[in-house]
Amino acid sequence: MKTFRLSASQGSASPDVAGFFDPRTFSVQYVVSDPATRHCAIIDPVLDYDEKSGATATHHADELLDYVREQGFEVQWIMDTHPHADHFSAAQYLKGKTGAPTAIGGYVTDVQELWKGIYNWPDFPADGRQWDHLFRAGDEFSIGELKGRVLFSPGHTLASVTYVIGDAAFVHDTLFQPDFGTARADFPGGDAHQLWDSIQEILSLPDETRLFTGHDYMPGGREPQWESTVREQKEANKHLAGTSEEAYVALRNNRDSELPMPKLILHALQVNTRGGRLPEPESNGRRYLKIPLDALEGAAWD
């Protein structure tokens, strides 16, 4: 299985994009770099977690650090597209190793407020202070000489953003590869109509824009893939091509009603709403996750 692929710069104002696939969570991590300056950003890094043993590790994050070191890059940003429901974020670990600031969409405060109630955290500060920088729609940033901007892309979650960097867009879980379709919209705070609108904004980017997804589930047993273009999505996405908003929302809602929740959603959100921080050790030196029972009513069972 190919778990690494480099999408080379297409020329001026176009980044190199290195994708690292994690077969355990079907997640894709990215190192986005400016060939001119060797500056880079890390997007959606994974902290390893085994739910059966409770073990945590940094294998995948260390793989990113090895690549950064081998390429002689300087990390300018550690960015998450949203608080993930299926893996832990390695943002805090990577900040400790690189000194680079962490960032996420400022709409994360809505997610924090929602999950603060679910976890019964009355004293939890739901103001986004867990990150160094909060982006809003239209905000701009730089990676070396590359220019980036932020789209607000709700629907999958309340807080999802898309990072557009040169001719590349990091669309998190809004779009998958054309043969798999689009993201679910039934998480707490999700909405299929909002998801449709977010997708349409992404598909209004130039046709040649490279789109990089947050996951790939390898339909039919094919090799993992995570890059497409706006043109390919418009022409071939199985949920979108030739579909109206009304038909899409009906399809999405019907499909979501049959899907079980991700197996790590209750584990991951209490880490990722903290910016990738694990719970503080208790008096015996161990860390503990808090799993609310019967909190996600109506979710399908496996």
Mind listing the pLDDT tens digit of every residue in the chain (302 residues)? Answer: 999 999 999 999 999 999 999 999 999 999 999 999 999 999 999 999 999 999 999 999 999 999 999 999 999 999 999 999 999 999 999 999 999 999 999 999 999 999 999 999 999 999 999 999 999 999 999 999 999 999 999 999 999 999 999 999 999 999 999 999 999 999 999 999 999 999 999 999 999 999 999 999 999 999 999 999 999 999 999 999 999 999 999 999 999 999 999 999 999 999 999 999 999 999 999 999 999 999 998 888 88
Contacts of 135 (CB under 8 A, 6+ apart): 103, 104, 105, 106, 141, 150, 161
Task: Report the distance separating Cα 285 and Cα 287, nearest Å.
Answer: 7
The alpha carbon torsion through 7, 89, 187, 295 (nearest 10 deg) reads 160
Phi/psi at 2 (5° precision): -85, 120
Residue spans per domain, the chain? 4-268
Domain spanning 4-268: CATH superfamily: Ribonuclease Z/Hydroxyacylglutathione hydrolase-like (3.60.15.10)
Phi/psi at 46 (5° precision): -110, 130
Bridge partners of 40, per DSSP, are 33, 75
How many C-beta atoms lie closer than 10 Å to residue 55's C-beta? 9
> pTM for the complete prediction?
0.97
Task: Report the distance separating Cα 143 and Cα 139, nearest Å.
Answer: 14
